[in-house]
Structure 1
Amino acid sequence: MKPYQGAGSAAMPLWDFQGSTMVTSQYVRLTPDERSREGSIWNRVPCFLKDWELHVHFKIHGAGKKNLHGDGLALWYTQERLVPGPVFGSRDNFHGLAIFLDTYPNDEATERVFPYISAMVNNGSLTYDHSKDGRWTELAGCTAEIRNQNHDTFLAVRYSRGRLTVMTDVEDKNEWKNCIDIAGVQLPTGYFFGASAGTGDLSDNHDIISMKLFQLMVEHPLEDDTVDWTKIEPSVSLLKSPKDNVDDPTGNFRSGPLTGWKVFLLLLCALLGIIVCAVVGAVVFQKRQERNKRFY
């Protein structure tokens, strides 16, 4: 947080950075509003807290209008640090947690409204698909107006007793708004916090103004004392990913929240089913009445 102990490309106490990252008196700029740049900043001290909350004061802004800007910013809690790569300036196939603040829709067929915030937990086996904006590996997400705001913008990431919560304060109301809430998340201790950003053919300024970590005082069951939290594998105990209903490459149909037109179709089908059942029932009843009359 300000005042930063460093300037330009000089090292900062407890923090390392790489790529296009520059330290000024007011912010740490991960990328300037220029094409094909990437930068990151990482804390040197691993986090051994079981329950924590991270507050990030950031600013994404640039000259581009409408969809002429990109690509976005990522917040990390991972085993790896200072490794450049294609995922918003950092490596793919990571171990840990990533929160993506994506400002550009690469998938032209998407129904989502950008900028879009999403969460991903990876044990090193998953690849982030930029062409689909990470849709196949996303756990949950929300739309948030985080770009070119004239007021301060904040993001909070809370992890406590296996529950991951992401909140935003981007409307100048000085209050947190829920974005993501997922239970069953397993994250080990001993990982590192960082932030990265990347630009491609389109660009933006991606600034980190402060990153503050708080310890949450939470009671755990006694059996948790016997667990080696540094050996836990990052995972999420979800049967299905809570995303929009889309066909995935394997041919399966993903479950998720129903959009308005899908609810309408379901209600229409249910109404048609009721009408068909009523007609069939009336015909059967009439034939039985006629048969009873002939019998008597």
Structure 2
Amino acid sequence: MKRYKLLVLTLYKSFLLLLIYAQTPNIFENFDFSFSFPFSNTRWNLHDAMVSSNFIILTRDIKSSEGAIWCTTPVPFRDWEIVIQFQIYGHGENLYGDGMALWYVKDKEEKGPVFGSRDNFTGLGIFLDTYNNYNDINDHQHPYISAQVNDGTRQYNKDKDGTDTQIAGFHTNFRGADKHPIIVISYVRNTLEVKMTYDHFKTVEKCFEVKGIHLPTGYYFGASAATGELSDNHVITSFRVFPVIVDRTGKEAEEDPSKISPYAEFFSPPRDHVSKPKHIPMTAKKLVLIIILALIGLAVLFVVGVLVFKKQEESRKRLY
């Protein structure tokens, strides 16, 4: 009975989503690239992830785990919108991690340190980060959504939560067992836009919009997650892909989108970070030197004290 109710709820949510996009011109769902439940799309491969009754489990709430799901078919359309319903939750109240990444990249199905996937990736990464690795004073809170466009030459600096290479970022509290957020990522006419809804599109929160983003066709959609010393459940309920039809003319129409090298015309301005004073450990040589100097100082004080005492004694004798 419970499974039946979950299936009805999933179908209802899908129906609402279809109604919304039915009112949007030049956009339609491509079911070859999408998945929802019951999960049956053979174009997607699971890597250390699990299929439950109504969602994909990338990681459970256990330490040092990772998982991913990748579409095995390259994306042929130039403009698109993806709508992902997910959930991140666990037993931790103040400490939890690490987070999830959503990908549109050249090299799929490769493990690595960036939320369970490879570093120096080529393409687009959207990061749903739940733990602040940058323990210095930061100008944003977590959970935190950020985006990075990479041509394969830049590293994701985990110690700084990727803020030194991000094109944009936004704080929104998407973590919690009582939350079923939906993230909408659109790439249309070289503009990347990320939005979030927590009530199935009754209200929509705009996270950021960045123009001047250049991505080719032929890359792969995917999602990955990882835990370390801290942990969380990272699950995906649905991953829906909507190609967007855009009329292009002139040079834009003649350009071969498969030959584009991924890059961003603008990056997020440097963030104000105030570093904590670094504690420099004392070496053995320094410690010995300090002890010797202290002993010399005590010896000098002792000698001076003795001399002063003798002079005082001599003065007293003369008086008598």
Fold match (TM-score > 0.5): yes
Greater mean deviation of Cα atoms: 150-159 or 54-63: 150-159
Aligned equivalent of 2:148: 120
Alignment of 1:39-118 (within 5 A): 39-66=67-94, 68-109=95-136, 110-118=138-146
AA partner of residue 16 (structure 1): N
Q: Tell me, in whole angstroms, the C-alpha distance in 2 between the residues paired with 1:106 and 1:115.
A: 12
Alignment of 1:175-254 (within 5 A): 175-238=203-266, 241-246=268-273
Q: List alignment gaps of at least 5 residues for structure 1.
A: 6-11, 249-296
In 2, are the aligned partners of 1:138 and 1:243 still within 8 Å (CA)?
no
Q: Tell me, in whole angstroms, the C-alpha distance in 2 between the residues paired with 1:61 and 1:150.
A: 9
In 1, are the aligned partners of 2:89 and 2:177 still within 8 Å (CA)?
yes
Q: Tell me, in whole angstroms, the C-alpha distance in 2 between the residues paired with 1:217 and 1:92.
A: 32
Deviation sequence 1:181-207 (CA, Å, 0-9, x none): 000000000000000000000000000
Q: Tell me, in whole angstroms, the C-alpha distance in 2 between the residues paired with 1:148 and 1:138.
A: 25
Q: Tell me, in whole angstroms, the C-alpha distance in 1 between the residues paired with 2:246 and 2:273.
A: 38
Task: Specify the SS of the correspondent of 2:259.
Answer: coil
AA partner of residue 122 (structure 2): H
Give the TM-score, by structure 1 length.
0.77
Alignment of 1:248-287 (within 5 A): none
Structure with a larger share of its residues in helix: 2
Q: Tell me, in whole angstroms, the C-alpha distance in 1 between the residues paired with 2:200 and 2:177.
A: 9
In 1, are the aligned partners of 2:61 and 2:232 still within 8 Å (CA)?
yes
In 1, are the aligned partners of 2:79 and 2:246 still within 8 Å (CA)?
yes
Q: What's the offset of the Cα at 1:37?
A: 0.3
Task: Specify the SS of the correspondent of 1:3.
Answer: coil
Identity %: 41
AA partner of residue 142 (structure 2): F
In 2, are the aligned partners of 1:75 and 1:196 still within 8 Å (CA)?
yes
Q: Tell me, in whole angstroms, the C-alpha distance in 2 between the residues paired with 1:246 and 1:187.
A: 30
Deviation sequence 1:27-63 (CA, Å, 0-9, x none): 1000010000011000111111111100000000100
In 2, are the aligned partners of 1:144 and 1:170 still within 8 Å (CA)?
no
Greater mean deviation of Cα atoms: 142-151 or 159-168: 142-151
Larger Rg: 2
Q: What's the offset of the Cα at 1:149?
A: 4.2
AA partner of residue 194 (structure 2): V
Q: What's the offset of the Cα at 1:86?
A: 0.2
In 1, are the aligned partners of 2:139 and 2:271 still within 8 Å (CA)?
no
Q: How many residues align?
A: 239
Task: Specify the SS of the correspondent of 2:258.
Answer: coil
Give the TM-score, by structure 2 length.
0.72
Root-mean-square deviation (CA), in Å? 1.6
Q: What's the offset of the Cα at 1:176?
A: 1.9
